[in-house]
């Protein structure tokens, strides 16, 4: 599933072709892709509205319209791109929703696995009211992270995946952050020392920032709006490197399951205390 860096890259790639465009029509191949409101009300409300801005909250793409927020969650295989009707795109066969635009082009939402959803609401809080802090914002400080860890008797990897704890971090960047901080993924969150919390704070922000700089990780379905791949997968320290030597110590990266997710770490650099 695309995480914060991938979603942020999609947001940046959509601004030029989508901001300033007015929606003139809606097409969908299945009503369930529209999670909020009803498909009929969705079409009636969004047609005639102009895209004022595009931003991100957690893993949601947020398009600020004249009166509403048009939100998209890509889930596992969702892709967004703007194309002319006569253009052929490799993802056209999986298009679940199209927004017709006033310049003759279309915003296409393609989703092979059909898990992705779109929303039209007054704010993202109507869609996902319990999201945690944004890890790259200035108000996410070491003190905030330390406070949120208190009393959390859960494996730190599982906690990082919890979107109510911190928004936007998923399996990839949790593994990367923990590896760079030297913290075992099964360490209990409330057992981390102040020094470990400070390291984790820094590596969460560094891993996500590096992911944005490399325009996301194209290891499965994720692609940028222009169809090209991101390059974060070329710079992983731990994720998807099972059996390969640790870039720090040379010992083989191992894979276990934490919170039902494949988890990669170095037993030497991330000892289980």
Asked if 105 and 17 count as a contact pair (C-beta separation under 8 A), the reply is yes
Question: How far apart are the C-alpha atoms of 231 and 216, rounded to whole Å?
Answer: 6
Question: For residues 142-166, b (16+ Cβ closer than 10 Å) or e, as one string?
Answer: eebbeebbeebeebbbbbbbebebb
DSSP state of 157: H
The arrangement of strands across the sheet holding 69-73 comes to 34-36, 117-121, 69-73, 60-64, 53-57
Whether the CA torsion 202, 143, 160, 170 is positive or negative: it is negative
For tokens 């940046």, name the residue. Answer: 12
Residue positions annotated with a catalytic role: 2-3, 59, 261
Q: Which two tokens stand for residue 194?
A: 């102040």
Question: How far apart are the C-alpha atoms of 22 and 101, rounded to whole Å?
Answer: 6
Question: How far apart are the C-alpha atoms of 261 and 152, rounded to whole Å?
Answer: 19
Q: Which two tokens stand for residue 11?
A: 């947001």
For residue 68, report the phi and psi dihedrals to the nearest 5 degrees: -135, 170
With 0-12 / 13-18 / 19 or more C-beta atoms within 10 angstroms meaning exposed / middle / buried, residue 222 is buried
3 state DSSP class of 74: coil
């Amino acid at each position: 599933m695309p995480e914060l860096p991938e979603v942020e890259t999609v947001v940046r790639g959509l601004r030029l072709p989508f901001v300033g465009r007015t929606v003139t029509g809606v097409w969908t191949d299945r009503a369930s892709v529209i999670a909020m409101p009803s498909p009929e009300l969705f079409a009636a409300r969004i047609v005639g509205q102009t895209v004022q801005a595009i931003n991100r909250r957690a893993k949601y793409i947020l398009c600020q319209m004249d009166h509403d927020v048009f939100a998209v969650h890509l889930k596992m295989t969702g892709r967004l791109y703007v194309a002319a009707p006569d253009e052929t795109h490799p993802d056209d066969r999986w298009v679940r929703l199209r927004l017709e635009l006033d310049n003759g082009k279309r915003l296409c939402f393609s989703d092979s696995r059909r898990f992705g959803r779109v929303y039209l609401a007054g704010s993202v809080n109507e869609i996902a009211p319990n999201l945690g802090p944004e890890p790259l914002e200035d108000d996410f400080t070491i003190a905030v992270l330390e406070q949120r860890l208190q009393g959390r008797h859960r494996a730190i990897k599982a906690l990082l995946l919890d979107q109510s704890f911190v928004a936007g971090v998923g399996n990839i960047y949790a593994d990367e952050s923990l590896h760079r901080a030297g913290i075992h993924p099964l360490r209990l969150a409330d057992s981390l020392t102040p020094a470990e919390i400070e390291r984790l704070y820094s590596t969460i922000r560094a891993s996500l920032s590096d992911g944005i700089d490399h325009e996301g990780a194209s290891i499965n379905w994720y692609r940028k709006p222009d169809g090209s791949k991101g390059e974060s997968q070329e710079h992983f320290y731990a994720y998807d490197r099972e059996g390969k030597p640790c870039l720090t110590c040379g010992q083989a990266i191992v894979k276990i399951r934490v919170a039902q997710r494949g988890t990669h770490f170095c037993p030497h650099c991330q000892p289980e205390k």
